[in-house]
Amino acid sequence: MLELVDVTKVVGADTHIEGVSMTLSKGSINVLLGPTLSGKTSLMRLIAGLDRPTRGDIRIDGASVVGVPVQKRNVAMVYQQFINYPTLSVYENIASPMRVKGADKATVDREVRKAAELLRLTDHLKKTPLELSGGQQQRTALARAIVKGAGLVLLDEPLANLDYKLREELRAELPKIFAATGAIFVYATTEPTEALLLGGNTATLSLGRVTQFGRTIDVFNRPVDLITAETFSDPPLNTLAVEKRGALFGHAHGLTVPVPADDLGLPDGRYTIGFRPHHLFLDAPGGAAVSLPARVAVTEITGSESFVHVDVADARWVALAHGVRNFDVDDRITVHVDPDRLFVFDAAGRLAAAPRALQAA
């Protein structure tokens, strides 16, 4: 078990990490999710013991490890860059942490082959890293982290430098690989989808603070505030600043959206409503959905999905639709917002109401 208690890191006049407290249990996957410079790497360095916190405590199984240098901790790290020993074979690369420990030949061989099997490297053991594809190079680095038998494995955006198909494949395998080791995994990423695919727990980071920490899907479905919801949405959360008057949310440009039945009890006043891009519909979903006129700014097509960027009043929204939906720039279209899908945030940005559809979950 790894505990962070009010961990703070101040460098000069800048606070890099502020008051982070969380508990990571054995065998768990913990995603640190946030944009670049949100503090993911700083937090990782503190957890690894590469940096010393200015304030607060880090405990492993109840004992403080602050001040224990990284070499003396049982930690493995995998980075965005593929870091391997270029002149050693894949086999020797994977074996290197065990050789350092002085393990006997039979144990080394057994562990290396086990890790190679898990990471599908068995056919490449005799090659050197530079003969491998980027994906295989990163698999080698992962295998090395795993044979180390570390109780804590830190991964700093390990898939960021891979092509999308390789990323997709390795990402699908990671939970299986993690489950096979039983260590505590801490995984930093900028991509919400990656956090969702890995499952486990997620901590959303913004400006050096952990805004929420909990089961990944819970954080996604019930973000405590606007910042968390925005951090955990790709493409970004569609938002609109509104004024609640009775049963209507009114926007400065004359747009109105009915207040969901469950939220009628909220006091009148200023709110921000938000909804996810896949809940901005291009085809009327039926029910109480409101139709709004929109102008297409650009359409991005990933293959199985299309991102239609639209201007609605003074807001820039994204509609995420299934399949290929091709619009031209400046096309006038109608988009639909379903009040039952709305997140409502109060003037301070705290969550006032989550979509009804998710409340049961």
Binding site for other proteins (CB under 8 A): 9, 11, 16, 42, 50-51, 163-165, 168, 172, 175-176, 193, 196-197, 199, 217, 220-221, 276, 278, 297-304, 309, 320, 322-324, 326, 328-329, 357
Q: Which is nearer to other proteins, 266 or 301 (CB)?
A: 301
Q: Which is nearer to other proteins, 23 or 80 (CB)?
A: 80
Q: State the Cα–Cα distance between residues 91 and 108, nearest whole angstrom.
A: 10
Q: Which is nearer to other proteins, 130 or 172 (CB)?
A: 172
- CA-based nearest residue to 81, from 141, 27, 143, 144: 141
- DSSP letters along 164-195, please? HHHHHHHHHHHHHHHHTT--EEEEEES-HHHH
Pick left, alpha or beta for residue 99 (phi over 0 → left; psi -120 to 50 → alpha; otherwise beta). Answer: alpha
From residue 319, how far is each of 24, 147, 238, 276 by CA, in Å?
Answer: 36, 44, 9, 8
Q: State the Cα–Cα distance between residues 239 and 342, nearest whole angstrom.
A: 10
Report, in Å, the least distance between residue 276 CB and other proteins.
7
Q: Which is nearer to other proteins, 50 or 315 (CB)?
A: 50
Cis amide bond preceding 235, omega within 30? yes
Report, in Å, the least distance between residue 65 CB and other proteins.
17
Q: Which helix (H) or strand (E) holds 155?
A: strand 152-156
Per the document, the length of the chain is: 361
One-letter amino acid at 229 equals A
Residue 305 structure tokens: 């999905």
Report, in Å, the least distance between residue 284 CB and other proteins.
16
Report, in Å, the least distance between residue 354 CB and other proteins.
13
One-letter amino acid at 217 equals I
8 Å CB contact between 50 and 43? no
Report, in Å, the least distance between residue 234 CB and other proteins.
10
8 Å CB contact between 140 and 94? yes
Report, in Å, the least distance between residue 110 CB and other proteins.
26
From residue 298, how far is each of 95, 246, 280, 310 by CA, in Å?
Answer: 50, 36, 15, 7
The strand pair at 184-189 and 63-64 is best described as unpaired
Report, in Å, the least distance between residue 294 CB and other proteins.
16
Report, in Å, the least distance between residue 278 CB and other proteins.
4
Q: Which is nearer to other proteins, 6 or 168 (CB)?
A: 168
Report, in Å, the least distance between residue 309 CB and other proteins.
8
Q: Which is nearer to other proteins, 43 or 108 (CB)?
A: 43
Q: Residue 271's beta-bridge partner residues? A: 242, 346
Q: Which is nearer to other proteins, 108 or 159 (CB)?
A: 159
Q: Which is nearer to other proteins, 264 or 324 (CB)?
A: 324
- What does the DSSP 8-state code read for residue 237? P
